């Protein structure tokens, strides 16, 4: 019942003018940031690890800004889920289409780290291009079915659950579908390597370099930025990585470090928009104490 009520609220709010919706989301997020929740504690711990030079007051301000950006993005998903294709394309602009157009004769991998605009950016791209993507099944079956339906509302996305593994993804890529790949979550020690993220060992899946080696794909970073004052979102397609992975024998740790370093640079440009609510450092190297 709670899930249905939350979805009803997001559906009702999506009828608001976009700038007013942004104000509602920002204000609600600021209020939520004041509550002593588990997610607030996680965000504070993550920011303390990644930005040790920040004062305690600065960390709290960054957490408040993140809650505002994240909550606004949750309400904005109503536009991705129910608004017309035309409204979605007005709200979310795309820069760098030429970097996709330049990739000819090879599979394409869009590297999309976890910033708050991740979902609406993916929906915007799906309004124009077919793609394949992986998703994590939700514990709530109602919400899981809803998300799968809405993420493919334009009929252009092939969704593969992580439980199915990489084989369906590789088949789709070889058939010509670009992969919208989310690289930066902690899925446990199994199949992960420890690579530094802001100097902290983080369990990182080495799947990016492995997919590139198996398919010959070109990596094009895809970063969705939430713009200020309700101005919408901007999806930026970056120039392709021409030297990834490097020559020589595969080195999962070194290649994961390169990927994490790129994500760090993006986080430094818009720190309030990174997904600090995720327990990025939940899995620790042997012998290290837990963080959360």
CB 69 within 8 A of CB 230: no
What pLDDT digit, counting tens, does each position of 230-251 carry?
Answer: 899 999 999 999 888 877 778 9
Q: In angstroms, rounded to a whole number, what is the distance separating the alpha carbons of residues 51 and 63?
A: 12
Nearest alpha-carbon partner for 182 in 136, 229, 228: 136
Hey, what CATH topology would domain 2-273 get? Answer: Glycerol-3-phosphate (1)-acyltransferase (3.40.1130)
Q: In angstroms, rounded to a whole number, what is the distance separating the alpha carbons of residues 73 and 83?
A: 15
Query: What is the predicted pLDDT for the residue at 207?
Result: 94
Q: In angstroms, rounded to a whole number, what is the distance separating the alpha carbons of residues 50 and 257?
A: 15
- Torsion, Cα 149 154 156 158, to 10 degrees, reads 0
Query: Residue 1 — pLDDT band, cuts 50, 70, 90?
Result: low
Name beta bridge partners: 203: 194
Q: In angstroms, rounded to a whole number, what is the distance separating the alpha carbons of residues 172 and 94?
A: 24
What pLDDT digit, counting tens, does each position of 53-65 carry?
Answer: 999 999 999 999 9
């Amino acid at each position: 019942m709670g899930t249905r009520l939350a979805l009803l609220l997001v559906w009702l709010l999506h009828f608001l003018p976009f700038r007013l919706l942004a104000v509602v989301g920002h204000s609600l997020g600021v209020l939520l940031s004041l509550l002593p929740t588990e997610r607030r504690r996680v965000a504070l711990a993550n920011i303390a690890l990644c930005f040790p030079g920040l004062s305690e007051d600065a960390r709290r301000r960054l957490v408040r800004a993140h809650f505002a950006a994240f909550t606004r993005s949750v309400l904005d998903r109503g536009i991705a889920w129910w608004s017309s294709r035309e409204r979605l394309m007005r709200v979310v602009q795309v820069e760098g289409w030429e970097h996709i157009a330049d990739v000819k004769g090879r599979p394409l991998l869009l590297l999309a780290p976890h910033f708050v605009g991740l979902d609406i950016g993916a929906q915007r791209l799906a309004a124009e291009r077919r793609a394949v993507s992986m998703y994590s099944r939700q514990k709530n079956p109602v919400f899981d079915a809803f998300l799968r339906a809405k993420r493919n509302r334009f009929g252009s996305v092939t969704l593969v659950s992580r439980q199915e593994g990489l084989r369906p993804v590789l088949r789709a890529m070889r058939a010509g579908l670009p992969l919208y790949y989310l690289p930066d979550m902690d899925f446990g020690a199994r199949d992960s390597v420890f690579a530094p993220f802001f100097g902290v060992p983080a369990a990182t899946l080495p799947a990016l370099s492995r997919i590139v080696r198996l398919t010959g794909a070109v990596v094009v970073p895809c970063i969705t930025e939430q713009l200020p004052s309700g101005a919408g979102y901007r999806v930026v397609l970056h120039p392709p990585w021409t030297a990834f992975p490097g020559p020589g024998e595969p080195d999962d740790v070194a290649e994961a470090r390169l990927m994490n370093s790129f994500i760090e640079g993006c986080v430094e440009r818009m720190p309030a928009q990174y997904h600090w609510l995720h327990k990025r450092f939940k899995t620790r190297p042997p012998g290290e104490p837990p963080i959360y």
